[in-house]
Amino acid sequence: MADVNLNKVFSFYNEIPVPEELKPFLSRNENIYFAVKTIRDAAIITDKRILVADKQGITGKKIEYYTIPYKNIVTYAIETAGTFDLDSEIKLTMSGGIRVELKFFKDKKMDSLLLRVYDAINSYIIG
């Protein structure tokens, strides 16, 4: 069973086509913006949430699915990569004090992707 009280870190690497195996977890009234590759997994950014598939174990057959609903975000911030940093981050604090970090490894494509994720969150929260 997933431990939803843990703080989580997800590392995003590049944009990918939306994985077929994640589509059943989406709602009919949810608009998909794009999908990203994580280390072993994938995430979908929609107009309402971020859905992350987190493969477990050596074989990766066990998968935990995390939903990060924008409506539960209390605060959020961007931390950009400095000269010696390898990544930029979006830091989320959810209701209940749960913290989620979305890491984007340093390159031009990832900076653009970070801003697209930030824009999806902003669009929901601010309007």
CATH number of this structure's domain 8-125, picked from the four choices 3.30.1860.10, 3.40.190.10, 3.20.20.140, 2.30.29.30: 2.30.29.30
Compute CA distances 122 → 61, 71, 125, whole Å.
Answer: 34, 11, 5
* Sign, CA torsion 69/78/127/25: negative
Q: Which residues contact 34 (CB under 8 A, 6 or more apart)?
A: 15, 18, 44, 45, 116
Output the tens digit of pLDDT for each of the chain's 127 residues. Answer: 455 556 888 888 889 999 998 999 999 999 999 999 887 889 999 999 999 998 877 776 788 999 999 999 999 999 887 767 777 899 999 998 899 999 887 666 677 888 999 999 999 999 8
Q: What is the pLDDT of residue 18?
A: 94
Compute CA distances 90 → 20, 41, 109, 117, whole Å.
Answer: 26, 18, 16, 9
Cα separation of 48 and 105, whole Å? 24
Cα separation of 39 and 122, whole Å? 25
| Pick from 104, 56, 99: nearest CA to 81 | 104
Q: What is the pLDDT of residue 107?
A: 65
Q: What is the pLDDT of residue 46?
A: 96
Cα separation of 73 and 22, whole Å? 22
| Contact status, residue 117 vs residue 24, Cβ threshold 8 Å | no
Q: What is the pLDDT of residue 38?
A: 81
Q: What is the pLDDT of residue 9?
A: 87
